[in-house]
Chain A
Amino acid sequence: MSEDVESILAVDWDIPWKEYPPKLVLLPSGERMVIREARREEVPKLLQAIRPLLTVEKDFYDIVAARLYGEVLGWYRHRARNEFVLVGIVDGKLAGISNNRAVDQKTHVSLHTIALKRGARAGAHMFAAKQENSMENLGAEEILVTAESPIGFRRLISQWCEPRPGVQHELGGAKTWVITRDIYKKVKPQQVFGSRPVPDDLLKRSATFEIAPLDWVPRK
Chain B
Amino acid sequence: MTKFGRHDERSLIDLMTESSIRALEHAGATEKSVDAVYAASMLAGELNNQTAIASALVDQLALFPAAAERLENGPAAGASAIKNAYCGIACGMYDTVLVTGGEKMRHVRAETITDYVATMTNMEEEYVHGITLPSLAGMLARIYMERYGVTREDLSRVAVKNHLNGSKNPYAHIQQPISLEGIYGSPEAEVNNPVIAEPLRMYDCCPVTDGAASVLLCASEKAKEYTDTPISIAGIGHATDIMAVQDRKDPAVLEALRISAVQAFKMAKMTPQDMNLAELHDAFTILEIVESEDAGFFKKGTGHVALRDGVTSLGGKLPINMSGGLKARGHPVGATGVSQVVELVWQLRGEADKRQVKGARRAFSCNMGGFGNNVVSLVLERS
Contacts and interface: CB of A to CB of B under 8 A. Distances in A.
A141 B187 CA distance: 26
Contacts, number: 50
Interface string B6-46: 00110000000000000000000000000000000000000
A28 B183 contact: yes
Interface stretch (A11-19, A39-47, A117-125, A132-140): A117-125
A60 to B, nearest CB: 14
Nearest to A190: B190
B8 A58 contact: yes
Residues of A contacting B: mostly? loop
B49 interface: no
Interface string B175-193: 0111101110011101111
* SS of B interface (majority): loop
A59 B193 CA distance: 21
B9 A28 contact: no
Contact of A29 (B8, B109, B176): B176
B188 A27 contact: yes
B188 A218 contact: no
A97 interface: no
A30 B8 contact: no
Given A58-B8, A218-B9, A25 B188 contact: yes
B191 A29 contact: no
A119 B9 contact: no
A32 to B, nearest CB: 10
Contact of A26 (B9, B174, B182, B203): B182
A193 B178 contact: no
Interface string B146-188: 0000000000000000000000000000101111011100111
A165 B8 CA distance: 35
B281 to A, nearest CB: 23
A48 B118 CA distance: 44
Contact of A193 (B176, B177, B181, B187): B187
A107 interface: no
A25 B8 CA distance: 32
A119 B174 contact: yes
Contact of A28 (B8, B178, B187): B178
Interface in A199-220: 218
9 contacts: A25-B188, A28-B182, A28-B183, A28-B193, A28-B203, A121-B191, A150-B109, A190-B190, A218-B9
Interface of A: 25-31, 58, 119-121, 124-125, 128, 150, 190-191, 193-194, 218
Interface of B: 8-9, 109, 174, 176-179, 181-183, 186-188, 190-193, 203
Q: Return the 3 tightest CB-CB contacts between A and B, nearest first.
A: A30-B179, A28-B182, A28-B192
